[in-house]
Structure 1
Amino acid sequence: MSVPYPGSRSIWMATTEMPRFTPLTTSVHADVCVIGGGIAGLTTAYLLALEGRRVVLVEAAELGAGDTGRTTAHFFPPDNRYHHIEKAFGADGAKVVAESFVQATEKVRAIIESERIDCDFERLDGYLFSLTTSGLAGIHEEFGAALRAGVAVDEVVRAPDLAFDTGQCVRFANLAQFHPLRYLAGLAEAIVRRGGQIHTHTRALDIEAQRHLQVVRTDAGEVRADAVVVATNTPFNDRVVMHTKQSAYRTYVLGLRVPRGSVPRILLWDNGDPYYYVRIATPDPQADHDYLIVGGCDHKVGQEEHPEDRYRIIEDWVRKRFPMAGAVDYRWSGEVMEPADGVAYLGRNPLGDGNVYIITGDSGNGMTHCTAGAMLVTDLIMGRDNPWTWLYEPARKPTHGLGEFVREQANTLAQYGDWLKRGDAPSFDAVAPGQGAIVQDGARKLAVSRDDDGTLHVHSAACTHLGCIVSWNPVEHSWDCPCHGSRFDTEGRPLHGPAAKPLAKFDADASSGE
């Protein structure tokens, strides 16, 4: 059954026709089963197919329907900054991040060239600036740390050719951007040409070790494989360990028309908290306009009552700095996994099952981290050493980010207090078309929503991961878990892990709704 992605639609989704694949209908065997049809999963499947491995990839919805289709698709330096990484992991750690980012970006370029993928890939410079005078110290600090890590950087008095003065900033040379879904479409076709199998609308429900094999159980059949790669943004196969070491945030993006050539083709971001990030896209070269893509205003998943206000804040920020900006044609949001210590988790699953691998903790650098993760995991599966393994090791303790770890765990525990609160609406009848609310039904809490045509949907409000009470997201028309970032559509079906099971359905006629 198709799993629609509710709510907003990105510019990439609107300008790409993704290749379609059939669901899995029987049990199969593979050398490697890859779970997830975003950039992490498809890149891993492609690299393993190049190695001659028999690969089966399963995806719960369509390819790119998750957060790869909702990225801003830039390749720029780590969101958590080189100077923070250097303090946490030493100079060697910062150098590993710099090297892996350079090699991941170059890997994407090489794949595009080899497979002749038309996806608007271009190299360009990026500029880190400060919104405040007090933030200039951080600009200087980042310049020094990036230089020590071997990154091609220099300090300039301002970013070039903009309508506003950024002030002194750090220029990062030879970064990149592309159209993510056109890239995924090319990867998928290349995988199939090399004998790989892709099955969409096939949700992985569990992974079970059987002797030396792993069995991936889906809603349609089994995939028995020598190795499994979980590339689902956040791993669904681990109920607790990984989800205490990273936290889920939503980030918001606008796509505004600007006259062709009126904004320089650069990457731009500031060092605020949260920060704004900017790029230019030209999905239709025949049009008389570009698109100014601007994102930011992050918040914890399920912990914002009025997420629509984030779009207004971003638009206000844009119009003060880019007076040529015209109509807002696109609004969308995506989910970002923030590791407690600022470094992604790429490699063997920490639960001891040595032939299961995970790629997670993208921290706003999904295109780069996911490609680096695919490269690292491919090396491990092929029995090769990889010099990045020690830094990105998923089993590492959150020692380097202990303060952040403690704060996030306190925040998560506080969300369970929602069980003690009354519902958002007094009855089913109080839930308007196109809206959702938590309704108290005796001792139960119910997630109640209505479609635009008035059709009522009633489910348990307890997230099927660890029982936190979900929250209605009026922007995406979804139920979002404020504890670990799971998301469900109005039919109760999972949109984002770690939850793999749907919300329990209730008979509206059998419930009082009061």
Structure 2
Amino acid sequence: MNTAAKGIIDSNRTSGINQSFWTQSTQPIISEKLNRNIETDILIIGGGISGITTAYSLLKAGRKVTLVEDGYIGSGETGRTTAHLTCALDQRYFELEKLFGKEKASLVANSHLEAIQFIENTLKLENIDCNFKRVPGYLFLSGNDSKETLTKEYEATKIAGLLTEMLEQVPDLQAEEGKWCIKFPEQGQIHIMKYLKGLTDAIIAMGGSIFTETRVEDVSNYGAKANGFDITANHIVVATNTPINDMVVMHTKQYAYRTYVVAAKIPKGSLPYALWWDTGDQESKWVGAPYHYARLEEFDEQYDLLILGGEDHKVGQAESECILEEERYKKLIDWSKKRFPAMMDIIYKWSGQVVEPVDSLPYIGKNPGNDNIYIITGHSGNGITNGTLGGIIITDIILGNENAKIDLFSPSRITLKAAKEYLQEVGNMVFQYGDWITKEDVENIEQLLPGQGGIVSTGIKKIAAYRDEMNNFHTCSAVCPHLGAILHWNAEEKSFDCPAHGSRFTAEGIVINGPANCNLKKVELKSKIKDVGISPNSSTIIDEILPVEPKIQPL
């Protein structure tokens, strides 16, 4: 199974120890590091699908664009997607009707169709070979859902103008006999890193500037500071999955989840190219019922790659269901083998971060309170189409073009009908601050084996400790620098994850997922002993650090 060596995250290349098929089957997309002060018209922060699409679209319109990425292009969540291109959304259309009305639900459907068409048109225009295919998609019932869900959804999709069909059988799935499904025709799929490489080449060819390994430290109305240098800009687009320029407002309107993916070889021709999704676990404790999803991808002359995902949970809260992160893959594999018995050995596994907005739609537009700072965030499980849509909408806003979608996806919108979900998610977030008084993962730092991490308490202090493969200890404050929640150890991805807002850090304390935009504070050990590098009583050897109180902000 393909994983990174020695349990260390190469955060320039990917945001987890387990690399995706996309990142392992292509060369990293690298540019120069920012090493000087620069001026530009439009600064884009983030080199995933949202930032790259925005840069491409604005350059096509003749604007001067500079893009900065703290890792490599696609090294964040875009490189960990499963790249379903679909108008079948995480939220059902009959629910969107309740929240926004039938007219806006139809606009949402058309938006995703537009995004798929944009991708197809662009790869043809730029001659990008990224394994693009138009494929059917099938939405079928999960084990604890009822046919009423499909009936209501089918009716809502027809009202929204989609050319869906109700089928009496789920095509090509075992263990789903006699179950109805909705067919979504003319959906799509791509190899996402090949697509990003093609867009990056087009951006450079049009005169755009791209800087990788360039971390933004501060954002203002005048630009940003990155790698210690000033970038002066008239417009700033923050396309980082979770906004790094906002401490509270947007992070009470969206919530971070982990989702899990496995990929197995399957004999070529044993399955057609298609997309499959179930309707989700209706008994789940999470607001968004986690669902399973599957697709094929080209692999070699003998085999295709069957890519399967699901088993989601709130970031840093896997243990609340008594199913740890590393156990999620087994559950996913068991589910998959029942439905795809031709699947062979698992050769890739990875997890990704999904940001769920409280009212189901992404936030695209002007950052609340700013006239020239824009954000693209809240993609749910439809990151490639929502990210593409973000680039289209931000371009229209900056150019002053009329677009009916601008108000629909505005980050300043208030959706009162989603108040129940909002209160449930906020209640969960506030509950996480109870970790300040809960028991630590390990009583003594010496209990950690090589490659293990955990949270250690020293009085009122919480320490994020990791013992690497060379027996060296790495110790940092376990307090998330965003809003002060206590981090949790993710043994599967070798990271410290924030259960309140989804920030993630490597085992050594380097930030890899926002909203936090700085590394964890290092905590030094006072003395060392032979071999293990610490004294026998680790609970008394942590250097004095200022206690950090939880920063629960008013909502």
Place the TM-score, normalised by the shorter chain, in its bin: over 0.9
- How far off is 1:152 after superposition? 1.2
Choose from 249, 256, 260 the match for 2:257: 249
Q: Which AA in structure 1 matches 2:190?
A: F
Q: Distance in 2 between matches of 1:201 and 1:122?
A: 32
Aligned-residue CA RMSD in angstroms?
1.4
Using a 3 Å threshold, how does the CA distance of structure 1 residues 365 and 454 change in structure 2: closer, same or farther?
A: same
Alpha-carbon displacement from aligned partner over 1:235-292 (angstroms, at most 9, x marks no partner): 01000000000000000000011110111211110102311001001143x3x11111
Q: Distance in 1 between matches of 2:440 and 2:142?
A: 40
2:317 matched to which residue of 1? 303
Whether 1:278 aligns to 2:290 is no
Q: Which AA in structure 1 matches 2:206?
A: R
SS in 2 for 1:111: helix
1:83 matched to which residue of 2? 94
Whether 1:480 aligns to 2:494 is no
Whether 1:126 aligns to 2:144 is no
Whether 1:173 aligns to 2:185 is yes
1:375 matched to which residue of 2? 392
- How far off is 1:134 after superposition? 4.3
Alpha-carbon displacement from aligned partner over 1:338-378 (angstroms, at most 9, x marks no partner): 0111111111111x211111110101000010101110000
What is the TM-score of this pair, normalised by structure 2? 0.89
Whether 1:450 aligns to 2:461 is no
- How far off is 1:454 after superposition? 1.7
SS in 2 for 1:52: coil
SS in 2 for 1:509: coil
> Is the CA contact 1:38–1:68 (under 8 Å) kept in the aligned structure 2?
yes
Q: Distance in 2 between matches of 1:394 and 1:87?
A: 19
Whether 1:497 aligns to 2:514 is yes
Q: Distance in 2 between matches of 1:360 and 1:150?
A: 26
Q: Distance in 1 between matches of 2:52 and 2:524?
A: 39
> Is the CA contact 2:18–2:350 (under 8 Å) kept in the aligned structure 1?
yes
Q: Distance in 1 between matches of 2:50 and 2:176?
A: 37
Greater mean deviation of Cα atoms: 379-388 or 503-512: 503-512
2:38 matched to which residue of 1? 28
1:323 matched to which residue of 2? 341
1:69 matched to which residue of 2? 79
> Is the CA contact 1:337–1:363 (under 8 Å) kept in the aligned structure 2?
yes
2:538 matched to which residue of 1? 513
SS in 2 for 1:252: strand
Q: Which AA in structure 2 matches 1:438?
A: I
> Is the CA contact 1:341–1:399 (under 8 Å) kept in the aligned structure 2?
no
Q: Distance in 2 between matches of 1:220 and 1:237?
A: 17
Q: Distance in 2 between matches of 1:129 and 1:72?
A: 19
Whether 1:187 aligns to 2:203 is no
Q: Which AA in structure 2 matches 1:218?
A: A
Count, aligned residues = 507
SS in 1 for 2:233: strand
- How far off is 1:219 after superposition? 2.2
1:237 matched to which residue of 2? 245
Q: Distance in 1 between matches of 2:256 and 2:458?
A: 29
SS in 2 for 1:468: coil
Q: Distance in 1 between matches of 2:512 and 2:122?
A: 29
> Is the CA contact 1:445–1:462 (under 8 Å) kept in the aligned structure 2?
yes
SS in 1 for 2:135: strand
Whether 1:436 aligns to 2:472 is no
Whether 1:220 aligns to 2:236 is no
> Is the CA contact 1:12–1:69 (under 8 Å) kept in the aligned structure 2?
yes
> Is the CA contact 1:440–1:513 (under 8 Å) kept in the aligned structure 2?
no
Choose from 356, 362, 370 the match for 2:373: 356
Structure 2 gaps, min length 5: 1-9, 282-289, 528-533, 540-555
Identity of aligned residues (%): 43
Q: Which AA in structure 2 matches 1:157?
A: E
- How far off is 1:140 after superposition? 0.8
Q: Which AA in structure 2 matches 1:445?
A: K
- How far off is 1:131 after superposition? 2.5
SS in 2 for 1:173: strand
Superposed, 1:255-266 pairs within 5 Å as 255-266=263-274
- How far off is 1:164 after superposition? 4.1
Structure 1 gaps, min length 5: none
> Is the CA contact 1:346–1:359 (under 8 Å) kept in the aligned structure 2?
yes
